[in-house]
Structure 1
Amino acid sequence: MSWWQVISLAVVQGLTEFLPVSSSGHLAIMSRIFFSDDAGASFTAVTQLGTEAAVLVYFARDIVRILRAWVRGLFPGLGGKSHRNADYRLGWYVIIGTIPICILGLFFKDEIRSGVRNLWVVATAMVAFSGVIALAEYLGRQSRHVEQLNWRDAVVVGVAQTLALVPGVSRSGSTISAGLFLGLDRELAARFGFLLAIPAVFASGLFSLPDAFHPVTEGMSATGPQLLVATLIAFVVGLSAVAWFLHFLLRHNMYWFVGYRIVAGGAVLVLLATRTVAAT
């Protein structure tokens, strides 16, 4: 990979990771259209470490509070049952919700790195899943708050997160949609989805780090310094993006992103149908 490719794709990763538009799908599309090759799933997974670090910084107070409540509630000598509040339960819900994607991510590792990165799959997922997001926005009651979260919500949102293993679906799009279907308010659905992504994305990025230097198929690969710079860029851009997105959700719905997904995915399908761009 050239430095121009690394910087461009890192900016795209940072901008799109938290929006319901699919960062992995955008990286696959951008690298094929503009660079005539695939950056690879491993490059995506490693640069996601930067955007998840942005989540750690942005939600630092929430994370510390949840961890403190979880530890105190787990060990009676540190407070015991008196500390088993909403934050304590939220800590368990993040753990429960992470299990599905860890299992499926390991089981379908090879397919994630190769087969599903076909642009026909990516573009179709972008268009098709737009309907799911729109339906969730339309049907979501948004009447439930953090105190009303339960383990069933964690399981449902955790299973929804596994859909993000397919580029074009979107992690935030799938988790927020699941939360809306469950009646959660939009901001809570987004925040819970972001917290749920932290352990899964860090595990995926660290697991994929060795593979990032040796793609399983022909394609671009980055050097160590390039991966470091890409991760730092993704962190800086991602920190701004997550702050903007959560502020946006307080005043707007997700129909804006539905429209964008349909236009972008449809445009890629046209390029594929006319053989302007290769699918693999």
Structure 2
Amino acid sequence: MDWLQVVVLSVIQGLTEFLPISSSAHLILVPVLTDWNDQGLVFDVAMHLGSLLAVVFYFRHDLRRMGASWVKSLRGSTLREGSDDPDARLAWWVLLATIPVCAVGFALHDVIEVSMRSPLLIGYSLIVFGLLLGYADWRKRSGRSEYQLTLLDAMLIGLAQVLALIPGTSRSGITITAALLLGLSREGAARFSFLLSIPVTALAAGLEIVGLVQVPREIDWQAMAMGVVLSGISAYLCIHYFIAFIKRIGMQPFVVYRIVLGLWLLWFFW
């Protein structure tokens, strides 16, 4: 890999991992618009690690409180919705909402990787789920925060996250859509979506690392380190400015972008 490829792929991964515009849709454009070869599993691991480190660092104070409260909850009954420990409840909701996508993703991993990478499918997914995001953002919300989620809310968002296994859907996009439809504020929906990304991204990176161990290969450590750094920086900036942006303007610019990109993919690959 040359350095231009490292920079472009890392920045694309870092930005699109958390914006509701689908990382798979953008990464599929790279080989179309360039003559670059596939970046390989090693670099995929680096980019995922960078994104994971970014979201963990951004929410480090929240995660510290949630972790301490969650450990205490193991000895109590924090799962009751009337509990006075919102940090422990939120930690439980993140963990429980992660179960559906992990179960389905593990069961259908080969099918998804082989049979669902069609650019046309990605184009349709961009448009359909983009319109759904637009509707969810447009309708009236009660303005709840992520700390006011119930167990039912968390499980419904977790089930919606399963749809992110369809390329072009966008994991952040579909979880934010579900949270908005359940009455969360834009900021609350985005924050819960980002917290949900932590276990999912960690598991995805873990599976890729297992693949590296099973099939040893030569590693370009400089490219890998650069991938971690660049994807991490771009992901951190994306999270920070995305939350500030949607509080003022909302999701509609991302909806328009998704529809335009989806239509372009349908036109180009038809």
TM-score (norm 1): 0.85
Offset of residue 104 of structure 1: 1.1
Match in the other structure for 1:141: 141
How many percent identity over aligned positions?
37
Q: More deviation in 83-92 or 231-240?
A: 83-92
Q: 2:250, 2:116 → 1: CA distance?
A: 29
The answer to whether the Cα contact below 8 Å between 1:126 and 1:262 also exists between their aligned partners in 2 is yes
Matches within 5 A, 1:1-40: 1-35=1-35, 38-39=38-39
Which digits, 9 at most, give the CA deviation of each residue in 1:150-175, with x for residues without a partner? 11111111111122222211111101
Match in the other structure for 1:251: 248
Q: 1:41, 1:112 → 2: CA distance?
A: 17
Q: 2:176, 2:51 → 1: CA distance?
A: 18
Offset of residue 259 of structure 1: 0.4
Q: 1:94, 1:190 → 2: CA distance?
A: 13
Match in the other structure for 2:232: 235
* Matching residue's letter, 1:239: Y
Which digits, 9 at most, give the CA deviation of each residue in 1:230-275, with x for residues without a partner? 12210011111110101111111101001011111211221112xx
1:177 and 2:177 correspond: yes
The answer to whether the Cα contact below 8 Å between 1:14 and 1:234 also exists between their aligned partners in 2 is yes
Offset of residue 22 of structure 1: 0.8
Offset of residue 129 of structure 1: 1.2
* Matching residue's letter, 2:246: L
Q: 1:161, 1:42 → 2: CA distance?
A: 26
Q: More deviation in 190-199 or 203-212?
A: 203-212
Q: 2:115, 2:42 → 1: CA distance?
A: 14
Matches within 5 A, 1:188-203: 188-203=188-203
Match in the other structure for 2:114: 114
Q: More deviation in 35-44 or 116-125?
A: 35-44
Q: 1:188, 1:25 → 2: CA distance?
A: 26
The answer to whether the Cα contact below 8 Å between 2:136 and 2:181 also exists between their aligned partners in 1 is yes
Q: 1:222, 1:261 → 2: CA distance?
A: 37
- 5+ residue gaps, structure 2, are 77-81
Q: 1:83, 1:71 → 2: CA distance?
A: 15
Q: 2:20, 2:48 → 1: CA distance?
A: 15
CA RMSD of superposed structures (Å): 2.5
Distance change (3 Å), C-alpha of 1:86 and 1:201: same
Match in the other structure for 2:79: none
Match in the other structure for 1:260: 257
* Matching residue's letter, 1:269: L
Match in the other structure for 1:50: 50
Match in the other structure for 1:151: 151
Q: 2:229, 2:38 → 1: CA distance?
A: 21
- 5+ residue gaps, structure 1, are 77-81, 216-220, 274-280
The answer to whether the Cα contact below 8 Å between 1:47 and 1:205 also exists between their aligned partners in 2 is no
Matches within 5 A, 1:194-213: 194-211=194-211
* Matching residue's letter, 2:207: F
The answer to whether the Cα contact below 8 Å between 2:146 and 2:191 also exists between their aligned partners in 1 is no
Query: What is the number of residues matched between the two proteins?
Result: 263
Which digits, 9 at most, give the CA deviation of each residue in 1:69-106, with x for residues without a partner? 11122235xxxxx9851111111101110101110111
Offset of residue 108 of structure 1: 1.3
Offset of residue 52 of structure 1: 1.9
Q: 1:204, 1:153 → 2: CA distance?
A: 24
* Matching residue's letter, 1:68: A
Distance change (3 Å), C-alpha of 1:139 and 1:62: same
- Three-state SS of the structure 1 residue aligned to 2:28 is helix
TM-score (norm 2): 0.88
* Matching residue's letter, 1:139: R
- Three-state SS of the structure 2 residue aligned to 1:35 is coil
The answer to whether the Cα contact below 8 Å between 2:43 and 2:227 also exists between their aligned partners in 1 is no
